[in-house]
Amino acid sequence: MILEFFTSLVQTYGYLGVFLVSLIGSSTIIFILPTDIIVFAAGAILDPLLVGILAGLGEAIGEIVGYVLGLGGRKIINKKYKKDIKKWEKKFKKYGGFFIIVLFAATPLPDDIVGIIGGTLRYPFKKFLLASFIGKTIMALVLAYGGFYGINWILQFF
C-alpha cells in the first residue's frame, strides 16, 4: 500500500515526488519505509544526478524530526539513557560528530538514533543538517545511479 502510494507520487510529480517520498520516508522514527526502492527505480527513469540530490535533500530535512525529538526530550533521554549518551558524546568528540553523522547517513546504519543523539547533545543544527545532507545524498546517488546503470545493464539482454 505505502509502496504504491510512493510510486504514484513519483509517477505524478516526477522530481518533486522523489523529494516528497524521501522527506516522508526519512521523517519517520519507528517505521521503516521503502524509500530506497523508490530512489533506485526513479534513477532508472529520471536523471539520476537530480534524483540523488533531491532525495538527499528530502531525507536530510526529514532527519530534523529525530534531531528535534532529541533536543526537546533532552532531559528525559539524559536521565533514562545517561550511560549511552555519555558513550555517544565520547564518540562525537573522538571521531567528530560531523563524520559520525555523515557515516550513518551514507550507509544503511540506523541514522535516526544519530539524529536523536545529535539533538540531545545539542550538536549545532546547521552542521547536523549539512552532515545529514552530505551523507544522505551520497547514499541516494549510489541508489539512483544503481537504478540507472542497473536497468540499462538488464535491458541489454532483451
- Domain range for 72 is 2-155
The mean pLDDT value for 134-139 works out to: 98
Give me the mean pLDDT over the 14-26 stretch: 95
Please name the residue that has the C-alpha cell 510510486.
7
pLDDT bucket at 69, cuts 50 / 70 / 90:
very high
**Rounded-to-5 percentages of helix, strand, coil across the chain:** 85, 0, 15
Give the number of domains in the chain.
1
Q: State pTM to two decimals.
A: 0.89
Residue 154 has pLDDT above 90, yes or no: no
> By mean pLDDT, which of 2-16, 55-69, 112-126 is the weakest?
2-16
Q: Identify the pLDDT of residue 56.
A: 98
Whether 40 shows a pLDDT value over 90: the answer reads: yes
The pLDDT value recorded for residue 108 is 85
For residues 98 and 127, is the Cβ–Cβ distance under 8 A? yes
First to last CA, the chain: 30
Of 46, 29, 12, 3, the residue nearest 117 (C-alpha):
29
Residue identified by cell 542497473 is 150
pLDDT digits over 73-113, tens only? Answer: 988 988 899 899 999 999 999 999 999 999 999 998 888 89
